[in-house]
Amino acid sequence: MPENYEPDEFDQIAQAGGPVGVHRAPRKWYVRLLPALIVFIVAGLIAYVFATFLWNQDNNPQPGASATPSVTATESVAPSPTATTSDAPSATPSETAEPEPSETAEPEPVIIYDAQIHVRNGSGISGLAGEQEQKLEDADYTEVAANNINSSLIPDGTNTVTYTEDRLKDTAEDVAETLGIDAVQGGGTPGGAEIEVLLASDPDA
């Protein structure tokens, strides 16, 4: 004969209804897809954040790395030494263009037509001194005199024009050229005149 027990908590659960045993009620389809959807969304967000981080790293280099590109750009733009040298004007044309210094022109001879001139005859030819005196007067010399001299006083026995001072050198040379005499000698005259023509022979002979 069955025994009657007082209702306990398990009897209360049975009376409330619902699944009986260890099996659970079946879940809805969207409930089963929700975990996979959450994993997909989270994985996508992680991938997006990682890709964005790498993109920013590529487009924004570190401050220390920016020096090399700027230097490279500057060097590529700067002209090479060869181009600068070829464009700049060379120094050789300017030096060549400078005119060469002209030779110093010799000063014009200073002829003193009123200098004291003595024509001295030591050749033994009569009238020779007077003839040479006339030639000098025809050449515009105004202070000319003729006289004689001992042939031993004529240097080297050669027709010679002598003079006393350097200022008379040009005049003595002109006198010698007028009379056709080659020898001109400074340092004094035998008779003391400023210029003396010493005749050892006929200059026209």
Rg (Cα) of the chain, in Å, rounded? 68
Paired sense of beta strands 117-121 and 144-148, if any: parallel
Domains in the chain and their CATH numbers? Answer: 117-199 (3.30.70.2390)
What is the pTM for the complete model shown?
Answer: 0.50
Can you read off the two tokens belonging to residue 129? 């001194």
Residues near 203 by Cβ (< 8 Å), separated by ≥ 6? 132, 159, 179, 180, 181
- Tens-level pLDDT at each residue, the chain (205 residues): 556 666 666 666 666 655 555 555 566 666 777 787 888 898 888 988 888 888 887 666 555 544 444 444 444 455 555 544 445 555 554 555 666 656 778 889 999 999 999 999 999 999 999 999 999 999 999 999 999 999 999 999 999 999 999 999 999 999 999 999 999 999 999 999 999 999 999 999 8
Catalogue the E-assigned strands of 16-175: 117-121, 144-148, 160-163
Residue with tokens 């200098």: 115
